[in-house]
Structure 1
Amino acid sequence: MSDLLTDVLVVGGGPAATWAALKAAEDGARVVLADKGWCGTSGATAAGGTGVWYVPPEPAAREAAMASREGLGGYLADRRWMARVLDETYDRINELAVEGRYPFPTGTDGQPLRGGLQGPEYMRRMRVRVRRAGVRILDHSPVTELLTDRDGAVAGAAGHRRQAGELGRAGRRPARAVPRLGQRRHLAGRRGRRGGAPPDGERRRAPRPPRGGGTRTGEVLPYDKNYLRHGEGLSEALRSLDAGWAQLRARLHGEGAGLVKARQAAAMTAHARWMYASALARTESRGMARRLDHPEQDPAQHHRILAGGLDRVWAGPAAGRGTGVAV
């Protein structure tokens, strides 16, 4: 077990993570970045090209840019956040061109074309910049849980360092954070049950492949369920995923590298259940969320959907709801 003290812990290694780590380090913070892959090559951006919402700070151009995107999101977008994204993107892309020396192409008029990036080159340069800023990068170090201090505030995270073959923790006060990760975990145990052996004392291994894996992919990947959505198909898929979650709850355990696979199986199953519960809660077609049995847009449903819960998943209009996943 290794503990790392740091001011800022960034989990992930894509564009958002590397920019966050870079800016925190430039502000004088001690920064650790933990990536489940190899920072600079992991994630969707590093594998291909990516479009960039690069719009000069001219009122007419910004207004046109925001208006052009609102329909895709079913007119649920917050203009304040859109403006912040446009400001941040414009500044960061210009910084990448000057300080990161990214080779943007030029148009026939001699002006740089900054509306797109080649992922491999972009992320290679971001890794270099992050390391030069003094960030400690933990490659191949998937995080398995967040750690809290005695007041309940998130103070760090724990995970598995694959290259070192050991468990590790990083954060502001790892010594005061929730319990040691060196023991066997009950993957989906109730709050308060943090570690130790299963209730009956039996040492059990994670199924191979993990229980619920086939159910998860079988309900999420087929186009006739997840793309050509219909209430009956969504309900059937959600029932199957709920049953899969019950199996995970009872049987899926892991330690070391096995804990990573167990956490991934649980996270993907939970996400799939929130996704389908949210789709069932929106009985209309809005933006890119389409329902074959409700093809029209309903003005009364001009709201976001929040979803949450583990053993009992819930989903409903954002207004009046507590913490959840916004959809």
Structure 2
Amino acid sequence: MTEAGDVDTHHTDVLVLGGGPAATWAAIAAAEAGSRVTLVDKGYCGTSGATAAGGNNLWLIPPGPRRDESIREREAAAGGLTDADWMARVLSASWDRVEQLASWGYPFPVGDDGRQLRSSLQGPEYMRRMRRKAHRSGVRILDHHPATALTTDGDGVVNGANGIARQDGGRPWRIAAGAVVLATGGTAFLSGSFGTNVDTGDGFLMAAEVGAHLSGMEFSTAYALAPEWGTHTKGRMLQWASFYDEQGRPFPTERGLAGRQDAQRALAQGKRVFARLDRAPEHIRQTMRDAQPNYFLPLDKAGIDPFVTAYPLRMVYEGSVRGTGGLRLTGADCATTVPGLFAAGDAATRELITGAISGGGSHNGSWAIASGSLAGRGAAEYSRRRASGGEPVEHDRLGLRPGPRNAPSVDEVVRVAQDHILPPNRSHRKSGARLTESAAALEALWRDISAGLAPVPARDAYKPRQAVALVAAARWITAASLARTETRGIHRREDLPDLDDRFAHRILVGGLDEVWTAPDPVLPQLISAEAVA
């Protein structure tokens, strides 16, 4: 037993940070490879995060020529920034893993032809089974154990992490590991979007502190549409919507993505927008309800039949959770630019399969499955080859120690960071002038918190780190948005509305006290020479 204030320590082969689908797939894959695996989650593994709160559609294409067609279609829509090998890898891995999920007893619905319908997953049922499978695979799961910092050896190789046990009075813990998988999710800036309260960019911060690079952060400013009084965003439902203004006049748009874009454009201008799912054929309406019941529940409670009655919409910021940016990957094993550190799910950039556009639910869902599995196997192999983890080198990380008496509070810091990210005129519609203003304000905020934040209770010691992570992410998003002097995908510059072929490459970003950007030396790889932005 450890006394209060002592550091609870243990050793493992592979340490997984996170508790969503990417984290659990990584933990299971590492255990399958013969590693001792520990998973630590900020919340309760299986219930925290966007997937557990709702679910996923899947980019699931059977083997055959249709896969290449799907890759070409994605290339044509994704701004020319994707990697064909990665797309093929994700399609293959997710197909195989969903087959396994079915064999574990996941209750996929069955169509009229007797075949399972595997295009979507119900979040609670999915994550309940993933937690159970991880347990049965021998994974040690530590719930309510947020990680606060990565540790490295004297050569800068990641060898574990530190954190606190929230339900044990904030007792500090240290776990030494042969390799670490970051699957901590992206960042939605505490916008209130459904299930994203744990997605504060902690993994981005911890990785950057040990020298990791990020990519695609300018495409992290994704918004989705939800009923005006709700937070549940499911764009797939709105592909069947007709959109109306406040006077009931229909938008002159086609069904699908174009309609949603027009709705967001109007909302960003301060106008009210209404939707009715009247374009959905009668025979699929019950299937829509069965696939995403959480979307319909608040409408039903309000007495609204969305197939008949128009309901008001609002924009909800989902950041990199629905967007693209994250840690840069350097190989098919999901290794990052720092040895010993692997990334998966929303913590890793999805530019490789989504390019300059949102992955939506389907691509993101398959990315979590595939990247988690690949990262888990990669981390297991790295740990097996590694002679010794070495002693951890202590670092004084920003936000781990309280600041002076007049230091800003967590809430104050979070509000300032949000002010420069959440408003649509900061992220949905960007301009050089507003970005430059935000960059200056965020730099000043970074200097203000450099001596620390106001003290918090021991069990809340992770919250200052969350606030610091939000400021860091806001600075990276702003810097990358300034560096991409064009409009491409969901990166929209009002002052630079045209595509510029000189920027047909990914943009890297990193640094803490000094933020930097640079072109990615690895160019996009397209299978279709005619792929266009």
TM-score by length of 1: 0.87
Deviation string, structure 1 residues 93-127 (Cα, Å, up to 9, x no partner): 000001x2111112222221111111111001100
Counterpart in the other structure of 2:393: 178
Give 3-state SS (helix, strand or coil) of 1:176's partner.
coil
Are residue 140 (structure 1) and residue 140 (structure 2) matched?
no
Counterpart in the other structure of 1:227: 428
Letter of the 2:172 partner, please give it: L
Counterpart in the other structure of 1:187: 398
Letter of the 2:493 partner, please give it: R
Measured at CA, do residues 4 and 299 of structure 1 come closer, stay the same or move farther in structure 2, by a change above 3 Å? Answer: same
Q: Give the one of 426, 443, 460 matched to 1:242.
A: 443
Q: Give the one of 255, 271, 275 matched to 2:477.
A: 275
Corresponding pairs, count:
305
> How far, CA to CA, are the matches of 2:122 and 2:77 in structure 1?
24
Query: Which of 25-34 and 89-98 deviates more?
Result: 25-34
Contact 1:71 1:287 (C-alpha < 8 Å) held by counterparts: no
Contact 2:402 2:455 (C-alpha < 8 Å) held by counterparts: no
- The alignment yields a C-alpha RMSD, in angstroms, of 2.3
Are residue 265 (structure 1) and residue 265 (structure 2) matched?
no
> How far, CA to CA, are the matches of 1:154 and 1:133 in structure 2?
25
> How far, CA to CA, are the matches of 2:389 and 2:455 in structure 1?
22
> How far, CA to CA, are the matches of 1:149 and 1:253 in structure 2?
30
> How far, CA to CA, are the matches of 2:422 and 2:401 in structure 1?
35
Give 3-state SS (helix, strand or coil) of 2:47's partner.
coil
1:156, distance to aligned residue in structure 2 (A): 0.4
Q: Give the one of 13, 16, 22 matched to 1:10.
A: 16
| Correspondence 1:195-214 to 2 at 5 A | 204=405, 207-214=408-415
> How far, CA to CA, are the matches of 1:127 and 1:150 in structure 2?
35
Q: Give the one of 61, 64, 67 matched to 2:69.
A: 64
> How far, CA to CA, are the matches of 2:478 and 2:72 in structure 1?
29
1:13, distance to aligned residue in structure 2 (A): 0.6
Are residue 22 (structure 1) and residue 233 (structure 2) matched?
no
1:251, distance to aligned residue in structure 2 (A): 3.5
Contact 2:402 2:452 (C-alpha < 8 Å) held by counterparts: no
Contact 1:7 1:29 (C-alpha < 8 Å) held by counterparts: yes
| Correspondence 1:150-161 to 2 at 5 A | 150-161=154-165
1:244, distance to aligned residue in structure 2 (A): 0.9
Counterpart in the other structure of 2:253: none
Letter of the 2:391 partner, please give it: R
> How far, CA to CA, are the matches of 2:497 and 2:16 in structure 1?
41
> How far, CA to CA, are the matches of 1:206 and 1:105 in structure 2?
54
Measured at CA, do residues 91 and 254 of structure 1 come closer, stay the same or move farther in structure 2, by a change above 3 Å? Answer: farther
Counterpart in the other structure of 1:125: 129
Deviation string, structure 1 residues 127-168 (Cα, Å, up to 9, x no partner): 010011111101011101011123321110000111122000
Give 3-state SS (helix, strand or coil) of 1:117's partner.
strand
Contact 2:166 2:460 (C-alpha < 8 Å) held by counterparts: no
1:243, distance to aligned residue in structure 2 (A): 1.0
Counterpart in the other structure of 1:114: 118
Letter of the 2:125 partner, please give it: E
Query: Which of 166-175 and 106-115 deviates more?
Result: 166-175
> How far, CA to CA, are the matches of 1:159 and 1:174 in structure 2?
18
> How far, CA to CA, are the matches of 1:197 and 1:51 in structure 2?
42
Counterpart in the other structure of 2:106: 102
Contact 2:165 2:173 (C-alpha < 8 Å) held by counterparts: yes
Letter of the 2:91 partner, please give it: L
Q: Give the one of 79, 84, 88 matched to 1:83.
A: 88
Counterpart in the other structure of 1:316: 518
Q: Give the one of 97, 110, 128 matched to 1:92.
A: 97
> How far, CA to CA, are the matches of 2:410 and 2:462 in structure 1?
13
> How far, CA to CA, are the matches of 1:212 and 1:30 in structure 2?
39
Deviation string, structure 1 residues 250-297 (Cα, Å, up to 9, x no partner): 342657334311111111110111001101111111122211111111
TM-score by length of 2: 0.54
Give 3-state SS (helix, strand or coil) of 1:113's partner.
coil
Letter of the 2:429 partner, please give it: L
> How far, CA to CA, are the matches of 2:466 and 2:100 in structure 1?
35
> How far, CA to CA, are the matches of 1:75 and 1:213 in structure 2?
34
Measured at CA, do residues 48 and 73 of structure 1 come closer, stay the same or move farther in structure 2, by a change above 3 Å? Answer: same
Query: Which of 44-53 and 31-40 deviates more?
Result: 44-53
Instruction: Give percent identity, aligned residues only.
Output: 48
Contact 2:135 2:141 (C-alpha < 8 Å) held by counterparts: yes
> How far, CA to CA, are the matches of 1:205 and 1:140 in structure 2?
30
Letter of the 1:103 partner, please give it: P
Letter of the 2:158 partner, please give it: V
> How far, CA to CA, are the matches of 2:47 and 2:464 in structure 1?
24
Contact 2:18 2:41 (C-alpha < 8 Å) held by counterparts: yes
Counterpart in the other structure of 2:53: 47
* Greater relative contact order, per chain length (Cα 8 Å cut-off, separation 6+): 2
Show structure 2 runs of 5+ residues with no match.
1-6, 178-387, 523-533
Show structure 1 runs of 5+ residues with no match.
189-194, 321-327
Contact 2:410 2:463 (C-alpha < 8 Å) held by counterparts: no
> How far, CA to CA, are the matches of 2:30 and 2:160 in structure 1?
16
Letter of the 1:88 partner, please give it: A
